[in-house]
Amino acid sequence: MRVTPKYLAPALVAAAALTLAGCAPTASGGGDAEGADAAPVAIGMITSQTGPLAAYGEAYTAGFEAGLDYATDGTGEVDGQELEITWEDDQGNPDTAVAKAKDLIGQGTKVLAGTVVSGIATSLAEQAEQNEILYISGPAAADAITGVNGYTFRSGRQTYQDVATAGTFIGDPAGKKVVVFAQDTAFGQGNLAGVEAVLGGQGAEVQGVLVAEDATEFTPFAQQLVDAQPDLIFVAWAGASSGAMWTALQQQGVFDAAPVVTGLGDVATYQAYGDASADISFLNHYFGGAAGTDIEEEMITRLEEAGAEPDLFSVDGFVAAQMIVQAVREGGDDVDAMIDALEGWTFESVKGEVTVRAEDHALIQPMYQVRLVEGADGWAPELIETVDAETVAPPVAG
């Protein structure tokens, strides 16, 4: 793999040991290129290296580098064919991401991958369709990415899988009452809509308790949750008021009223729940040690060698590398052949067996039920149960 450091954000050096390259035009032709004389395949990696989601981008990047090393046996090549990889910073901005994508495509890039931002992913998916290139979305969770067009895939989970995992804490949702406790923002409203679509679609009665974003007193809302007599409380919360919110729920006996479920985020959030930590039930996409697979061990070893640690979105980067290697191995630099190579592909990855569903390119994968336990170094996740991939598989899009 040709390398150049010019695209590398300095903050990522210690964490990810990135291998970067300028991209160059590729020769035409399908998957029949063989050996070192085959033209390189230009690949553009676009994610947040700066901005509010830079930590997510860092985990994705480190996971990708580990996955590429694993999938290519340390060569950075696929059957002798060179991968020319260029990293770009989307800065969390769709316009920036699209501008950089257009520049990469203009230089001959056949594959784009990345981004943790759903709005950016949908914009890059449009570029992929317009320019007939392969795009593999990263941690961006919006359900709309699945099935958006024939050129777009994803290497992570989607919102439906998160919400369906929350539902597994009460078994069959039919006839159950689920209350969504969230801020009255686009984020909170989106989570309420997601629960209505997923668990409501499975027969649950869904009610929302939405709180103004600037609220500082949560006791009345906690009492509303108790009075609703729910079977499950789904919490979607972000920001500085989280600690006070969780404290209020605990003080008002909300955890005695029903299971309280929220998503377990990255390593940096493990200490954020205070005294409520042991009472919360967590849905989870991934945490270090969750899977217990040989490939997870391979990933963790490579991350640690690079000075990083396994985190929420490490697996998304690792899977993206596996998918790119599969696409190039079977398709060379021919985009249609790459797509054929990925559609319906079942493979072993960090979380075990995953499948790229042929009909809409959803990534069918297991999820996790998790609790936090307190140890000498603070709170850390512990696996309750692995949720079978088919149990939380989204309906076919389209």
Question: pLDDT at position 27, please?
Answer: 34
Interatomic CA distance for residues 47 and 237, integer angstroms: 24
The percent of residues above 70 in pLDDT, for the chain, comes to 91
Three-class DSSP category at 139: coil
Q: Considering only residues 398 and 127, tell me which one the structure prediction assigns the higher pLDDT.
A: 127
**Residue written as token pair 């686009």:** 186
Q: Which CATH number fits domain 161-284+367-392: 3.40.50.2300, 3.20.20.450, 3.40.1580.10, 3.40.50.300?
A: 3.40.50.2300
Question: What are the CA-CA distances from residue 345 to residues 314, 322, 342, 354, 355 (Å)?
Answer: 21, 11, 5, 8, 6
DSSP label at residue 8: -
Classified by CATH at the fold level, domain 5-157+290-364 comes out as Rossmann fold (3.40.50)
Q: What is the predicted pLDDT for the residue at 5? A: 32
Domain with CATH 3.40.50.2300 in the chain: 5-157+290-364, 161-284+367-392
DSSP string across 55-87: HHHHHHHHHHHHHHHHHTTTSSEETTEEEEEEE
Task: Return d(Cα 83, Cα 38) in angstroms, integer.
Answer: 11
Burial environment of residue 292 by CB neighbours within 10 A (0 to 12, 13 to 18, 19 or more): exposed
Predicted local confidence at residue 184, as pLDDT: 94
Average pLDDT over residues 169-180: 96
Taking 50 as the threshold, does the pLDDT of residue 198 lie above it? yes
Per-chain mean pLDDT for the chain:
90
Residue 316, pLDDT > 50, answer: yes
Residue 13, pLDDT score: 28
224-242 pLDDT per residue, tens: 999 999 999 999 997 789 9
Higher pLDDT residue, 35 or 50?
Answer: 50
273-294 tens-digit pLDDT: 999 999 999 999 999 999 999 9
**Residue 187 has what pLDDT?**
86
213: amino acid identity, one letter: E
Spatial distance between the Cα atoms of 328 and 29, rounded to a whole number of angstroms: 12
- pLDDT at residue 398, rounded to an integer: 78
The answer on pLDDT for 10 being more than 50 is: no
Give the CA radius of gyration of the chain.
Answer: 21
Q: Which residues of 42-62 are buried (b: 16+ CB within 10 A; e: fewer)?
A: bbbbbbbbebebbbbbbbbbb
What whole-number distance in Å separates Cα of residue 339 and Cα of residue 358? 10
State how far the Cα of 19 lies from the Cα of 246, in Å rounded to an integer.
Answer: 41
Model confidence band, residue 20 (pLDDT cutoffs 50, 70, 90): very low
Q: How high is the pLDDT of residue 37? A: 62
* Residue corresponding to tokens 């679609």: 201
| Across 156-162, average pLDDT | 96
Mean pLDDT of all residues in 299-305? 98
Residue 17 pLDDT > 50, yes or no? no
Instruction: Give pLDDT tens digits for 87-101.
Output: 999 999 999 999 999
Contact 115, 121 (CB under 8 A): yes
The predicted structure's pLDDT at residue 23? 32
Distance CA 141, CA 121 (A): 9
Cα(19)–Cα(367) distance, integer angstroms? 30
**Residue 99 pLDDT:** 98
